[in-house]
Amino acid sequence: MGIIEKMRLDGKKGFVTGGARGIGKSVALALCEAGADIAIVDMDIDEAQKTAEWMAKETGQDVFAVQTDVTSPDDVNQMVDQVLARFGRLDIAFCNAGICINVPAVDMTFEQWKKVIDVNLTGVFLTAQAAGRIMIKQGSGSIINTASMSAHIVNVPQPQCAYNASKAGVIQLTKSMAVEWATTGVRVNSISPGYIGTELILAAPHLTALIDEWNKIGPMHRLGKPEELQALVVYLAGDMASFTTGSDFVADGAFTAF
């Protein structure tokens, strides 16, 4: 068997949070193209359903949508129950849903702080925990959490202390779960993308106004594309990565390299 065949995910079942659009949608497509069946998990059920129908048609895989708020333990448990009812097992969890609020630390309200931490850090904890519980019973599985280059640097000029703190938390959460579960067959890794052209940036005028400024600093002088993260997650999801756990993978066009 050649290396490309060895990297395929045929027969594997998974879910992607924040899968309706952006990075989640792009990675979910790649997981399906590699042979996995995937649940598109998102708050926005209309968009998630559209994405799931399109992806099923495009790839011939079993893809369905589940409405879930990742900050709710009940929602997350119900989502995992639906995935198990449909697929019978869980091999891949891409815990990716996230938001950003750009407010200076001195002005940030408790509600704004809590919202970002709840979605980006608690949401990843709840979804990875629920996935881990099933995968430990199975004796196998791969969890990939979306952190950010903001876990490694403080972005400028936009203020985003809660986002940066939440993403740094995702990396330590990932490492902690990886160590606790290292002998169970369950691997846990994170990815740290640089600026990627999704609605998170492109639908926010206060951020699109900064793209030229970021591109001046970034050595590649451009935003990344969601599809430039696909192969990394497919690799981490598959059995070829069996010795890779507790690591964070930066894909940022060298933004944090200097």
Instruction: Please name the residue ranges forming H helices in 34-160.
Output: 45-59, 73-87, 110-117, 123-138
As a whole number of angstroms, the distance between CA 123 and CA 43 comes to: 12
As a whole number of angstroms, the distance between CA 132 and CA 151 comes to: 23
Single out the segment in contact with ligand NDP by CB under 6 A; choices: 28-36, 53-61, 101-109, 199-207. 199-207
71 binds ligand NDP (CB under 6 A): yes
Q: Residue type at 171?
A: I
Count the neighbouring beta carbons within 10 Å of the beta carbon of residue 230.
19
Count the neighbouring beta carbons within 10 Å of the beta carbon of residue 115.
15
Q: How far is CA 111 from the centre of its chain?
A: 24
Of 27, 38, 70, 250, which one interacts with ligand NDP (CB under 6 A)?
A: 70
Q: Is residue 148 flagged as an active site residue?
A: yes
Single out the segment in contact with ligand NDP by CB under 6 A; choices: 79-87, 91-99, 129-137, 211-219. 91-99
Count the neighbouring beta carbons within 10 Å of the beta carbon of residue 258.
6
Please state the closest distance from residue 124 (CB atom) to ligand NDP, in A.
8
96 binds ligand NDP (CB under 6 A): yes
Q: Is residue 13 flagged as an active site residue?
A: no
18 binds ligand NDP (CB under 6 A): yes
Instruction: Please name the residue ranges forming H helices in the chain.
Output: 3-6, 22-33, 45-59, 73-87, 110-117, 123-138, 161-180, 199-202, 205-208, 211-217, 230-237
Of 119, 130, 135, 144, which one interacts with ligand NDP (CB under 6 A)?
A: 119
76 binds ligand NDP (CB under 6 A): no
Name the residue nearer to ligand NDP (CB basis): 136 or 204.
204
Which of 236, 235, 142, 130 minimizes the C-alpha distance to 184? 142
Please state the closest distance from residue 36 (CB atom) to ligand NDP, in A.
19
Q: Is residue 192 flagged as an active site residue?
A: no
x-or-dash pattern for ligand NDP, window 134-153, by CB under 6 A?
A: ------------x-x-----
Name the residue nearer to ligand NDP (CB basis): 33 or 118.
118
3-state secondary structure (DSSP) of residue 213:
helix
Please state the closest distance from residue 116 (CB atom) to ligand NDP, in A.
9
Kindly determine how many residues on this chain lie close enough to bind ligand NDP according to the rule CB under 6 A: 29
3-state secondary structure (DSSP) of residue 144:
strand
193 binds ligand NDP (CB under 6 A): yes
- Contacts with ligand NDP by CB under 6 A lie at 17-18, 20-24, 42-44, 68-71, 96-99, 119, 123, 146, 148, 193, 195-196, 198-201
Catalytic positions are: 148, 163, 167
